[in-house]
Amino acid sequence: MADESGAAAEFALMLPIIMLFLVGIVDAGRFAYEFNRGEKASQIGARVAVVTSPLVKELETYTFVGKTVGTQTVTQGDRIPIGALGTIKCTATACTCETTPCLDGTLTINTVAFGVLAARVKQIWPAVADADITVEYTGSGLGYAGNPSGMDVAPFVTVRLAGKKFKSILLFGSEVNLPDFGYTLTMEDGAGDKFN
């Protein structure tokens, strides 16, 4: 008969390594799941942002007719040049001009539209707080001055989720920073406060 007296000792030596490996697999799966939730939440947020009212109230009614962009004065029916709109950044509480040119005057946030967007993002990733969400509007070169059926400009809309952390089992509850998630789409109809 073969001597099997060392099998139990070998198993006892290998058990912690096997357990560490299994916990690592579970932790990696949880990380991938949270990462995917972040990406999906930003994608859904961008989708909501481009089909509902813009967070910047002035975008709905602003006309580029008569504005000078570079050396060109925009007239009725002209395509809106890409440089006609800088970057406008909106948070839960305010919209600010990050790079010029911006719309004339003070920027007003549409809190109802932000609430709709935030609620939809939280359906995908409940850990997101309103303070984690930023929305940016930048010029795209799309749209027509004096558009009678909607907004003059169809900007790029980027929804970003930042500041989220992942709590690791393998690292004994230590938190690991998740990357910032962002997704960009071009504004579509820019009307309405509901998303079904």
| Confidence at residue 187, expressed as pLDDT on a 0 to 100 scale | 92
| Confidence at residue 14, expressed as pLDDT on a 0 to 100 scale | 86
| Confidence at residue 115, expressed as pLDDT on a 0 to 100 scale | 95
Tokens 């709709």, located at residue: 116
Distant-in-sequence, close-in-space partners of 118: CB < 8 Å, separation ≥ 6: 92, 128, 130, 133
Indicate whether 109 belongs to any domain: yes
**Grouped pLDDT means (10 residues each) for the chain, 196 residues:** 68 85 89 93 95 91 86 87 92 93 88 95 95 96 87 94 86 83 90 60
Task: Quote the radius of gyration of the chain (alpha carbons, Å).
Answer: 25
Indicate whether 132 belongs to any domain: yes
Indicate whether 2 belongs to any domain: no
Determine the straight-line distance between the first and last CA of the chain, rounded to whole angstroms: 72
Which alpha helices (DSSP H) does 52-147 contain, by range? Answer: 57-61, 111-124
| Confidence at residue 175, expressed as pLDDT on a 0 to 100 scale | 85
Beta strand pairing status for 165-167 and 175-177? Answer: antiparallel
Indicate whether 196 belongs to any domain: no
State how far the Cα of 165 lies from the Cα of 132, in Å rounded to an integer.
11
**Total domains in the fold of the chain:** 1
Indicate whether 1 belongs to any domain: no
| Confidence at residue 1, expressed as pLDDT on a 0 to 100 scale | 58
Indicate whether 154 belongs to any domain: yes
Indicate whether 44 belongs to any domain: yes
CA triplet 111, 138, 155: central angle to 5 degrees?
A: 80
Note down the domain range covering 96: 7-186
Q: Which residues pair with 186 in a beta bridge?
A: 156
